[in-house]
Structure 1
Amino acid sequence: MKKTFTSKKGNIFPLKIDELDKILKARFETNPDLSFTTYEKNNKKIAVFFIAYQVESEKIDNFLLEPILMKNIEWTNHSILNEIPLNGGKKVETLEDILKDILIGAVFIYIEGEDSIIAYLLSKKEKRSLQQSETESLVLGPKIGFTESMVTNLNIVRWTIRSEDLVLEQYLIGKREPREVRLIYMKSIANEVDVNTMRQRLQELEIDVIDDASVLMQYIEDSSITIFPQFLTTELPDRFSYNINRGRLGILVENSPTAIITPTTFFSFFESTEDLYMRWNIGTFLRGLRYLSFFMSTFLTPLYVAAVTFHYEIIPTPLLINLGESRSSVPFPPILEALFLELMIELLRESGARLPTKVGQTIGIVGGVVVGTAAVEAGITSNVLIIFVALSALASFTTPNYLMGTTARIIRFPMILLGGFLGLIGIMFGACFLIIHLLRLTSLGRPYLSPLYPLVPKDFNKVLFRLPNEYQNERFRSYRPKDLIRFGKKKAKNKKDIDE
């Protein structure tokens, strides 16, 4: 299925080759790489034109020019399309289609006097080799990552999902620079409503160019105002394939190493494919640790500010004495002290991310130790707060998804302000606001907090914790897949030795 955005202004053929040459040179006067060559045989003229650096020259010489010029092929559109040993040949009639296809690596053949022109897509694919994903690190499981080549990514998906049931719908999105987008799903599993919703969003999207899959995600999300990501992004083919097999939809974009997965829930951003490769009890522990870390990253520093500012009574007496001694030389109120340290951590994080890898790691570690120690000795902050800020920073790194980790870091700042001005009441107000906001969010029309809202207890073992594999015989009920059952539960429990 293909969606294009081109205007049809009628057939411009037949016309003289000299006239076609003038038209093209007028449109590509600033592009010196347009190759336009005319050949003549038996009082017939034929023109072959393309942009040199965008096509595979060997295929043009061996499979186009050699058969046309050296073999006894009649120079007609019908004969060339039937006898040229290349697939994908098509007839083009409008100038708009010619200008669109030539920019993506098409080679055109025009026989003077014919009412259409022949086009073959022979684009040169510049791509990097398959490498390990840099943004999603794994200890167990496949580590190969997507690349910027759509052909390579589709090969990886086909290699990991070897099923005739896999559907790969094609769209061309972009008025000025059309870019290929693929909607991928399992035909017998994915919910038809979800598929139609995504089709509509892709087909109705009108934009000049899609720079990356992350940019496309922002255009087709349910809400563009919220800070929470509603679609999941990944560079790992195994994570992509796992979600496709569970009934979700996947999107690949040409020239982007990032894939989109939808629909998702709030809990999807804390899942990792490593949970599948480990034993169920270890996976459950790690997943619970990530949920706890998100809570710590968001509320730990604000709770400290609220307690020190308004609620001394909730602090144990021995700790309160040490805390008083530590803050005795600090001239700033706790809210300014916390904001200063959090801002310092964010500066160190960003500077480390933008510098070369080895230098960035050194700056992050040494900078944190030196600046933190200097801040305590200078009396700008207390050593107890440094511990809380460091724990919050470490907790934000445990989230497998970078976007959700960044969300937790940003939410922390308004929470600190609420805790500093209103104490625990302000933090509770902020937490209630977040919960109400999450209850209202959707992902491709599905509730964002599913299976907590609406309540689906049978889905808890897929998001909140893991059970042994024999109990994972159903897919995620909240997405309403066509085929709910993955395998027979009774046969999964039937374990016998070979001598029984």
Structure 2
Amino acid sequence: MASDVIRDWFSHTADLIVEHVDEQEGRVRIYFLSSMADNKVVYTKVLPELRQLDLQNATISEVENRLGVPASQRISRQEQVINQLLKGAIYIHVSGAPYGLAIPASGVATRNLQRPEIETNVLGPQVAFVEDLDMNLSIIRKYLASPQLFHEQLWVGKSVPQEVAILYMEGTANPEHVQTIRQRIQDLEVDGLVEVNILAQYIADNEITVFPTLLQTERPDRVSSALRKGQVAILMQGSPFVLLGPTALIHFFESPDDYYFRWSIATFNRVLRVSAMIASLLFTPLYVAALTFHYEMIPADLLLSLAQSRARVPFPPLFEALMMEIIIELLREAGARLPTKVGQTIGIVGGIVIGQASVQAGFTSNILIIIVALGALSSFIAPSYVIGSTIRVIRFPIILMAGLLGLIGIMMAVSFLISHLLRLTSLGRPYLSPLYPVRLIDWKNSFIRAPFAFLAKRLEFFQNGKPYRYNKQRARQIHNFDEDE
């Protein structure tokens, strides 16, 4: 690649540095971006080593041998040179040589490994991904030190190319799923992407639905577990999250803690999460429907208490419920956007003060405050933040239907929701599996978490190439230590 091409391509930027190793001839040159590469590598290692050569007659092979950098790459195409410079590499050009050398010397500061902030857990590893793709790949390699872990590199974006990595276990992942993800990423026509969650919206089976069809996670242990199951992982440079697919709705209510606890505790937690999702959707709509149309459903003692609680409330139940739900959402959004300590104070103090003041002023009843609080609490119990937000959004149209048509409106809204979920897919796989189509064998590691001895067979949802994870009979054997031996 001609040196003038590099200058022309980066003529608009002031951080392109060109060093002439042989100052008189200018035969050997070093190119790097001062904002991306580590200057110490250039001036304390590369330049002193090159100046030990006979630069007037040195070949590119001699330069390569003199530097002795194992990670150096031979590149000759223009796009390769540009990509390497933008990644923080040093490019060495020798006039007349058929190729140049790219030496990694990234000097960009990266965030150190920290505890997960969004997907917290009680047991298990306490580490989360960062924004550096190579570091994230190394973390996954430490969890899955196997030659069967395949890594494919793709580029997304025309104006701002961004590196994307596809990871999967060869022989375990379904080749159709891998090909689907690969093809959808390659077919993207975008200027550039900032984050992997934006990529998820582009390659999703349905872009209109409010439900996420690819699972986002910041936990390496969850990614390694998903890869062993047969899922495909998508990573992107600059993103601390990883996409997993294909994904069913029930997977958003699974937590890595389910495998660190005993199976009975894990099963209880999963059932609790699913029940909390249903309760979050229906608590407030049932309150609105009962007080608006169906007084006869309320027991007499409870009806008297409700009448006393609503004696001073001038608004109909529908308006009252929507007002409180919107207030809860405002407090949640304010707590998420403010600094951590201030956000926690706003969430706690704001909820108590506004709730108590609303009851005393006669804007709402005590019972509705309890119901709305339970609904909001139930939506936060989901391990995935995205599915929790989805549940909170869906609750509003169900409340509206309850206020307009009562229980009939709730049934219509729920029926529409179920029909929508039945049509959803994730990489072509049914989103409601194992409920539809019915796969009872997948229940042992979806709605419940059976003991490990019963999890020898992989889930049919992923259609793995290897149906069994380990020998089922040997896993059930109990190996006791004989003290007499």
1:366 and 1:43, CA in 2 relative to 1: closer, same or farther beyond 3 A? closer
1:93 and 1:117 in contact (8 A); partners too: no
Which runs of no fewer than 5 residues in structure 1 stay unpaired? 1-11
Which sits farther off after the overlay, 482-491 or 61-70?
Answer: 61-70
Q: Which residue of 2 aligns with 1:200?
A: 183
Alignment of 1:89 with 2:67, yes or no, is no
Aligned 1:115-154 pairs, distance under 5 A: 116-154=99-137
Q: How much has 1:27 moved relative to structure 2?
A: 4.4
Q: How much has 1:204 moved relative to structure 2?
A: 1.4
CA distance in 2, matches of 1:397, 1:42: 68
Q: How much has 1:389 moved relative to structure 2?
A: 0.5
Alignment of 1:490 with 2:473, yes or no, is yes
Alignment of 1:393 with 2:376, yes or no, is yes
Q: Which residue of 1 aligns with 2:445?
A: 462
Which sits farther off after the overlay, 328-337 or 84-93?
Answer: 84-93
Alignment: residue pair count = 481
Q: Which residue of 2 aligns with 1:293?
A: 276
Q: Which residue of 1 aligns with 2:229?
A: 246
Q: How much has 1:93 moved relative to structure 2?
A: 4.6
Q: Which residue of 1 aligns with 2:48?
A: 66
Q: How much has 1:142 moved relative to structure 2?
A: 1.2
Which sits farther off after the overlay, 292-301 or 56-65?
Answer: 56-65
Q: Which residue of 2 aligns with 1:48?
A: 30
Q: Which residue of 2 aligns with 1:433?
A: 416
1:426 and 1:30, CA in 2 relative to 1: closer, same or farther beyond 3 A? same
**Could you state the TM-score of these two structures normalised by the residue count of structure 2?**
0.95
2:294 and 2:406 in contact (8 A); partners too: yes
Alignment of 1:38 with 2:20, yes or no, is yes
- Per-residue CA deviation, residues 144-198 of structure 1 (Å, 9 max, x unaligned), is 1111111211111011111111111111222122222111111021111111111
- Give the 3-state SS of the residue equivalent to 2:469 in structure 1: coil
Q: How much has 1:391 moved relative to structure 2?
A: 0.5
Whichever residue aligns with residue 168 of structure 1, its letter is: H
Q: How much has 1:309 moved relative to structure 2?
A: 0.2
- Per-residue CA deviation, residues 440-459 of structure 1 (Å, 9 max, x unaligned), is 00001100011111111101
* 2:336 pairs with one of 321, 331, 353: 353
1:222 and 1:230 in contact (8 A); partners too: yes
Q: How much has 1:43 moved relative to structure 2?
A: 5.6
- Give the 3-state SS of the residue equivalent to 2:482 in structure 1: coil
Q: Which residue of 2 aligns with 1:322?
A: 305
1:36 and 1:302, CA in 2 relative to 1: closer, same or farther beyond 3 A? same
Q: Which residue of 2 aligns with 1:419?
A: 402
- Per-residue CA deviation, residues 224-271 of structure 1 (Å, 9 max, x unaligned), is 000000000111111111111111111111111101111110000000
**Could you state the TM-score of these two structures normalised by the residue count of structure 1?**
0.92
Which runs of no fewer than 5 residues in structure 2 stay unpaired? none
1:81 and 1:89 in contact (8 A); partners too: no
- Give the 3-state SS of the residue equivalent to 2:32 in structure 1: strand
Q: How much has 1:44 moved relative to structure 2?
A: 6.6
* 2:149 pairs with one of 166, 177, 180: 166
CA distance in 2, matches of 1:43, 1:307: 89
- Per-residue CA deviation, residues 54-94 of structure 1 (Å, 9 max, x unaligned), is 11223333553223211347422343344431233223254
CA distance in 2, matches of 1:347, 1:93: 53
- Give the 3-state SS of the residue equivalent to 1:36 in structure 2: strand
Q: Which residue of 1 aligns with 2:433?
A: 450
Alignment of 1:235 with 2:218, yes or no, is yes
CA distance in 2, matches of 1:91, 1:381: 70
1:189 and 1:246 in contact (8 A); partners too: yes
2:20 and 2:26 in contact (8 A); partners too: no
Alignment of 1:111 with 2:94, yes or no, is yes
RMSD between aligned residues:
1.9
* 1:191 pairs with one of 174, 180, 194: 174
Q: Which residue of 2 aligns with 1:8?
A: none
Q: How much has 1:303 moved relative to structure 2?
A: 0.6
CA distance in 1, matches of 2:375, 2:50: 69
CA distance in 2, matches of 1:425, 1:123: 62
Q: How much has 1:25 moved relative to structure 2?
A: 4.9
Q: How much has 1:47 moved relative to structure 2?
A: 2.1
- Per-residue CA deviation, residues 119-154 of structure 1 (Å, 9 max, x unaligned), is 334332421111001011111111211111112111
Q: How much has 1:113 moved relative to structure 2?
A: 4.0
* 2:285 pairs with one of 293, 298, 302: 302
CA distance in 2, matches of 1:334, 1:104: 58
CA distance in 2, matches of 1:330, 1:58: 71
Q: Which residue of 2 aligns with 1:9?
A: none
1:208 and 1:424, CA in 2 relative to 1: closer, same or farther beyond 3 A? same
Aligned sequence identity (%): 43
